[in-house]
Structure 1
Amino acid sequence: MDRMSVEDALFPGCPIRNVLARIGDKWSLLVLYTLDGAEPMRFGALRKAIPDISQKMLTVTLRTLEEDGYLTRSIYPEVPPRVEYALTERAKSLLPHINGLIAWAIENMDAIKGERKASREV
């Protein structure tokens, strides 16, 4: 599904499909989690904190999160220009749910890995 076009033909007003289409990718939750509790971060600091994300994907992810109001982008008129990203109140209200998902994943990961291994052996 195209991340920028999130309306489903059968269920155009479905809020969960709409939200998950935007934050359910490989990087969005990780970017939100990385910004949690941090002072505003610059692009380079985010890249260092998430070393396996490409510059292009970080740029696309930040734009998408900004468009949906999960983060703010502040530009400072300096040479070179300084740009910082910070979570909005909307994103902060999502974080307890992300943290719950992380806790669930930690609790269940060994069992999930065991099931995956067992299904490959069949």
Structure 2
Amino acid sequence: MMDETSTHFYVPVSHEQRERCLGPEGSAWHVGRVIKMIQSRWKLPILFRLYADPSIRTLQLKRDLPGVSQKMLTAHLREMARDGLIERVDFGEKPLRVEYQLSETGRQLLPVLIAARRFSTSHLPAADDSAKGV
């Protein structure tokens, strides 16, 4: 019998195998959940910015991500904090001083993102495919 992490290497045949891969708590569900956590125009740039600098203020993030609106940045930071990828540190000072940093969960995601980048760079589209918009 194969272990749980190897279910993606074959087409699930038995009901038990399908449940482990495709069921409500299966591999496909968990991978989809991670993708939803990082899916947006700005979440990956925020994460990579935080990988480069362990703690950063909102204003600096806004400067480093040209084109992001304050409303969108705030919404994404709240979602990422809710999902446990980052932590909001409120220093309780006046004027308000808040910084964001990666959580342990966010740091654990880095090898996954590096693997995704490695996969992407080794599977670049052919030159004529990119010209066609494929």
**Normalising to structure 1: TM-score of the pair?**
0.76
Q: 1:78 — aligned with what?
A: 93
**Counterparts of 1:59 and 1:11, CA distance in 2:** 34
Q: CA deviation at 1:26?
A: 1.7
Task: Go from structure 1 to structure 2 and tell me whether the alpha carbon gap of 1:119 and 1:76 turns closer, same or farther (over 3 Å shift).
Answer: closer
Q: 2:104 — aligned with what?
A: 89
Q: CA deviation at 1:112?
A: 5.0
Ranges in structure 2 where 5+ consecutive residues have no aligned partner: 1-21
Task: Go from structure 1 to structure 2 and tell me whether the alpha carbon gap of 1:82 and 1:112 turns closer, same or farther (over 3 Å shift).
Answer: farther
Task: Go from structure 1 to structure 2 and tell me whether the alpha carbon gap of 1:56 and 1:112 turns closer, same or farther (over 3 Å shift).
Answer: farther
Q: CA deviation at 1:55?
A: 1.0
**Counterparts of 1:11 and 1:44, CA distance in 2:** 42
Q: For residue 101 of structure 2, what is the amino acid of its counterpart?
A: A
- The answer to whether 1:45 aligns with 2:60 is yes
- The answer to whether 1:59 aligns with 2:74 is yes
**Counterparts of 1:55 and 1:27, CA distance in 2:** 12
Q: 2:130 — aligned with what?
A: 116
Deviates more, 1:59-68 or 1:17-26: 17-26
The count of aligned residue pairs is: 110
Q: CA deviation at 1:53?
A: 1.3
**TM-align CA RMSD:** 2.3
Higher Cα radius of gyration: 2
**Counterparts of 1:89 and 1:112, CA distance in 2:** 38
Q: CA deviation at 1:30?
A: 1.5
Q: CA deviation at 1:76?
A: 1.2
**Counterparts of 1:112 and 1:71, CA distance in 2:** 36
Q: 1:33 — aligned with what?
A: 48
Percent identity of equivalent pairs: 30
